[in-house]
């Protein structure tokens, strides 16, 4: 209400000088109108009063209410736009914080980079202990992949032959419980036709390293 009162007072201060000029101009006509109005009968005066009231309402609506309403709508739209922009910025901030948290978690699950760590050696040792070296048909290093934020993904392709389901479980458990954070990204188990209780296994082991 105080803001509306200030707006009305401002409009009044701006309009008053022009209104005074208009009054000076139309004062003779007002005097003539007053003279004629005094000569009218009571019923005619009432009709003139009603017409004057309608005309005054029309002026107030067009020159006072509509400008204020349009200004208020514009202000509401501006506020709504600012709220949306603040919401977008907050969403970006939340996304950034989430990505930073994920990055820190990823950094914790990285293997040491350098000559002291070999994913090939780690996987070969683990599979030799879990299923036996004779069950390893092949084990070959995959191509290194450079990821964003300075990460490098190492991979090793492994093939196991003539293993039981229990040995498959032991092999996967051995990789899962390694001291270094190694994961199995691809696994394919094929039943051998001569012995339905034996399987051939293809698996890909991966590990992330953070440079510098």
pLDDT digits (tens, 9 = 90+) for 109-128: 566 655 557 888 889 999 99
**Domain range annotation of the chain:** 2-106, 119-210
Fold (topology level) of 119-210 = Alpha-Beta Plaits (3.30.70)
Q: How far apart are CA 199 and CA 76, in angstroms?
A: 70
Q: Give the pLDDT confidence score for residue 99 in this predicted structure.
A: 65
Q: Are 154 and 202 in contact (CB under 8 A)?
A: no
pLDDT at 61: 73
Q: What gap in Å lies between CA 77 and CA 85, rounded to an integer?
A: 12
Q: Is 9 helix (H, G, I), strand (E, B) or coil?
A: helix
Q: 169: which residues sit within 8 A by CB, 6+ positions away?
A: none
For residue range 156-192, list pLDDT tens digits in order: 999 999 999 999 999 999 988 887 788 888 899 998 8
Return the closest-CA partner of residue 175 out of 205, 139, 137.
205
């Amino acid at each position: 209400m105080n803001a509306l009162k200030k707006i009305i007072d401002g409009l009044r201060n701006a309009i008053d000088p022009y209104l005074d000029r208009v009054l000076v101009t139309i004062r003779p006509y007002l005097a003539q109108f007053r003279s004629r109005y005094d000569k009218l009968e009571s019923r005619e005066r009432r009709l003139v009063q009603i017409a004057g009231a309608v005309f005054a309402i029309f002026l107030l609506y067009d020159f006072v209410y509509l400008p204020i309403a349009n200004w208020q709508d514009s202000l509401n739209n501006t506020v709504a736009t600012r709220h949306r922009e603040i919401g977008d910025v907050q969403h970006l901030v939340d996304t950034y914080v989430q990505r930073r948290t994920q990055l820190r978690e990823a950094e914790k699950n990285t293997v040491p980079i350098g000559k002291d760590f070999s994913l090939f050696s780690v996987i070969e040792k683990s599979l030799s202990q879990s299923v036996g070296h004779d069950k390893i048909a092949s084990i070959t290093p995959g191509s290194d992949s450079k990821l964003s934020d300075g990460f490098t993904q190492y991979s090793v392709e492994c093939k196991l032959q003539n293993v039981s389901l229990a040995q498959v479980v032991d092999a996967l458990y051995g990789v899962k419980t390694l001291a270094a954070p190694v994961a199995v990204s691809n696994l394919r188990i094929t039943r051998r036709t001569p012995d339905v209780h034996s399987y051939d296994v293809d698996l890909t082991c991966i590990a992330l390293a953070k440079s510098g």
